[in-house]
A = this chain, B = another copy of it.
Amino acid sequence: MHNTTLKQIAIQLGISITTVSKALKDYSDVSVATKKAVVDLATKLNYTPNSFAVNLRTKESKTIGLIVPTVDYHFFSKVFKGVLEEAEKRNYLVIILRSNEKLELEKKQLALLLNKRVDGILLSLSNETGDFHHINNVLALKTPLVLFDKIAKLVNCSKISINDRKASYDAVTYLIQKGRKKIAHFRGSYMPQNSIDRFLGYKKALEDNNITYDSTLVYVCDSNLDFEDGYNNAKKALEEHPEIDAIFAITDLVAVGILKYCKDAGIEIPTQIALFGFCNSFVTQVTSPKLSTVDQPGFEIGRRAASVLFDEINLKKNNLPVVFQTIELETTILERQSS
């Protein structure tokens, strides 16, 4: 059908198929008038150039892959928005995949994208990802890859994230300055760097303020970091440690679960327990009381990660050396009613 169309255009315009083909590829040895006539007729005939053939010639797919651990969080919607905005500017397409927080699926998705010959990959690691062979393999193949949000410090590539340790240090320091002394931390599982860093920021803030770190005040939310995680751990924590006067949660959904448990149990926020979340999801503005949180700039993380990736794709195309970038975006403490 493809060649039929080229032939049809050639016949209708009384020129050769080669000229039609050159006109569509914008070759300089075809006159502007001919190009216009060809493009007009091609449009009329619903002709679209065969992108596979073009790909084979240029070795570019004008497509990038984006692997996220989950599509459940509002945070990743913001990331999508930032990535799509940068891709649209460059007429690039974005294939979105999820790892479901599983290492095996992450490996499979990377292989699918390589197989598809995407021009580059944006990756936020799964909670299970503790070894990085599969990522180093991609980098060894010289496929541009940028890690974002859930990054690994050990992988040698560009990384866009926030300074989780500092963000969490700031939030806990704020709680201490508000007079809280028994601050619990609801952390994520032991693997992802952001979970580790938020925990370390919490611990450091206690130490710098002469509050002894007590490991029994740290609860691990290791299922989905969701509402239920917050609710169930809050029940456990406040039964085991009724002296707790503040909780710093790894993410807003967990904090919302805590809030709900406190309401059900008649515990007043912020008078009895000050509550602090992380992410600045939309939900934090509509809970009652509104939730204090760390503003994690999802849109900006997506936008910057895509922008760095496109730079690397261009450098590679022009055989120029790539210098990897590590970008830590600023976060802000948002003080609201819950603290």
User: Would you call A140 an interface residue if the criterion is a C-beta within 8 Å of the partner chain's C-beta atoms?
Assistant: yes
Q: Which of A86-106 contact B (CB under 8 A)?
A: 91, 93-98
Picked from B46, B94, B287, the residue with its CB within 8 Å of the CB of A96 is B94
Interface status of A211 (Cβ within 8 A of chain B): no
Q: In the docked arrangement, what's the CA distance between A115 and B52, Å?
A: 9
Q: Which chain B residue has the least Cβ–Cβ distance from A260?
A: B286
Report the separation of the CA atoms of residues A46 and B136 in the bound assembly, to the nearest whole angstrom: 11
Partner of A48, one of B46, B115, B288: B115
- Contacts A53-B56, A93-B97 known; list 11 others, CB within 8 Å: A49-B115, A52-B56, A52-B61, A71-B77, A71-B84, A84-B98, A94-B95, A94-B96, A95-B96, A283-B286, A288-B288
Interface residues of A in 47-96 (CB under 8 A from B): 48-53, 55-56, 61, 63, 71-72, 74, 76-77, 80-81, 84, 91, 93-96
Contact A93 B77 (CB under 8 A): no
Number of interface residues of A (CB under 8 A): 46
A117 — which chain B residues lie within 8 A by C-beta?
Answer: 48, 50-52
Q: Is the CB of A116 within 8 A of B137?
A: no
Task: Give the shortest distance, in Å, between A115 (CB) and chain B (any CB).
Answer: 5
Q: Mind listing 12 A-B residue pairs with CB under 8 Å?
A: A46-B137, A46-B140, A63-B95, A71-B80, A93-B95, A93-B97, A93-B116, A95-B95, A227-B285, A259-B286, A283-B283, A286-B287
Q: List residues of chain B with CB within 8 A of the CB of A91.
A: 112
* Chain B residues whose C-beta falls within 8 Å of the C-beta of A76 in the assembled complex: 77
Task: For the complex, give the distance between the alpha carbons of A76 and B80 in Å.
Answer: 12
| Distance in angstroms between the alpha carbons of A141 and B63 in the assembled complex | 23
A111 at the interface (CB under 8 A from B): yes
Q: Nearest CB to that of A113 among chain B residues?
A: B93
The interface residues of chain B lying within 8 Å CB-to-CB of A286 are 227, 256, 259-260, 283, 286-287
Main secondary structure of the interface of A (DSSP, over half): helix
Chain B residues with Cβ under 8 A from A49's Cβ?
Answer: 115
Q: Does A327 contact B (CB under 8 A)?
A: no
| Cα distance, A86 to B86, chains bound together (Å) | 27
Chain B residues with CB under 8 A of A55: 52
Q: CB-defined interface of A288-319 with B at 8 Å, one 1/0 digit per residue?
A: 10000000000000000000000000000000
Q: Does A334 contact B (CB under 8 A)?
A: no
- Is B71 a contact of A81 with CB atoms below 8 Å? yes
Distance from A121 Cβ to chain B, minimum over Cβ atoms (Å): 13
Which A237-272 residues have C-beta < 8 A from chain B? 256, 259-260
Contact of A114 with B by CB under 8 A: yes
CA A111 – CA B112 in complex, angstroms? 24
The 4 A-B pairs at the shortest CB distance, nearest first, are namely A288-B288, A52-B55, A48-B115, A96-B96
Bound complex: CA A287 to CA B112 (Å): 41
A14 CB, nearest partner CB in chain B, Å:
26
Q: B77 touching A116 by the CB < 8 A rule?
A: no
0/1 string, A21-45, CB within 8 A of B gives 1: 0000000000000000000000000
* A285 partner residues in chain B, CB cutoff 8 A: 227
A48 adjacent to B95 (CB under 8 Å): no
A2–B52 Cα distance when bound, in Å, is 16
Report how far A272 CA is from B288 CA in the complex, Å.
19
